[in-house]
Amino acid sequence: MEGLSLRRAIISDIHANLVALEATLADIREQGVDSIYCLGDVIGYGPQPRECLEHCRAFDLNLLGNHEEAVLFEPIGFNARAKSAVEWTKEQLSLPEHPREENSELWNLVGAMESSHVEEGVLYVHGSPRDPTREYVFVSDIRNPEKLADIFAAQDQMTSFAGHTHTAGVFTVDCEFLHPSQIGNRYQVGEKKVLINVGSVGQPRDGDPRASYVIFDGETVEFHRVKYDIEEAIRRFRETPLPEELALRLIEGR
């Protein structure tokens, strides 16, 4: 692919899990990347939204996820646990013990997030090319060729990156899903359209509890997993009123 020749780390779905984020950023620093793009859901579910947003200030791109959208507007389609996390997150971004200016800066950071970004022939979204913030593209959708055909028809670019389902892998225009383990954790983009899910930093749901992210140099996608201190993350959850299930699911990556 012409244009991008630098190494770009692409992360998504941090979900206010600061322990996972800091471990991931430490790993990224060792990889010699030139930029970090975040595909949304920095907040929601997790115990440290303020701290995770502070880290985002240093990223080169921050996109709007459905949890940021829910905090700014309404939690459309959210279950009871997710809604309660949204309301708690709103409170955390407006804590009276913090200076008003500091709270405003965090809200402004969230409010400035765009829903999609196109650069050098590559599309970046949180959800899908058809609905950048809310649409889920599940592995099971390879058995729904009509849905995938519509999604790829909405993708003008050959390559797109997304998160949202917390499951890393490559969707092809031929209705295949390539798990990173099937392809040696590397994928070369080519002449056919692909949608690449970068997985989740803070709440993986593919059976692997390690944080997930990718590095892209314009031709090759590298899938990375990072071990982090899950017990410490759970301890921090338990210091909040957030539902226990949101913490315990980290153990199995579900």
Residue written as token pair 């996972």: 20
pLDDT band, residue 5 (cuts 50/70/90): low
172 backbone dihedrals φ, ψ, rounded to 5°: -105, 160
> Residue 125 corresponds to which amino acid?
V
CA distance 132 to 243: 28
214 backbone dihedrals φ, ψ, rounded to 5°: -130, 160
Q: Is residue 2, in this structure, part of any structural domain at all?
A: no
pLDDT one-digit tens code per residue, 26-79: 999 999 999 999 999 999 999 999 999 999 999 999 999 999 999 999 888 899
Domain hosting residue 122, numbered range: 8-252
CA distance 26 to 13: 17
> Residue 174 corresponds to which amino acid?
D
Q: Is residue 188, in this structure, part of any structural domain at all?
A: yes
Six token digits for residue 126: 């949180």
- Which SS3 state, helix, strand or coil, does residue 111 take? helix
- Reduced to 3 DSSP states, what percent helix, strand and coil does the chain have, rounded to the nearest 5? 35, 20, 45
The pLDDT assigned to 74 comes to 87
Measured in residues, the chain has a length of 254
Q: Is residue 133, in this structure, part of any structural domain at all?
A: yes
Nearest-10 Cα torsion for 157, 171, 204, 183? -110
The pLDDT assigned to 76 comes to 82
Is residue 101 over pLDDT 70? yes
pLDDT band, residue 4 (cuts 50/70/90): low
Q: Is residue 3, in this structure, part of any structural domain at all?
A: no
Q: How many CA atoms lie within 13 A of 30 on its CB side?
A: 8
61 backbone dihedrals φ, ψ, rounded to 5°: -150, 135
CATH code, domain with 158: 3.60.21.10
184 backbone dihedrals φ, ψ, rounded to 5°: 65, 30
The pLDDT assigned to 114 comes to 97
Nearest-10 Cα torsion for 220, 225, 233, 36? -20
The pLDDT assigned to 228 comes to 98
Question: Beta strands of the chain (E only): which ranges?
Answer: 8-11, 35-38, 61-62, 116-119, 122-125, 159-162, 169-172, 177-178, 186-188, 194-197, 211-216, 220-226
- Which of 167, 65, 189 is closest to 122 using CA atoms? 189
pLDDT band, residue 250 (cuts 50/70/90): very high
Structural domain tally of the chain? 1
Q: Is residue 1, in this structure, part of any structural domain at all?
A: no
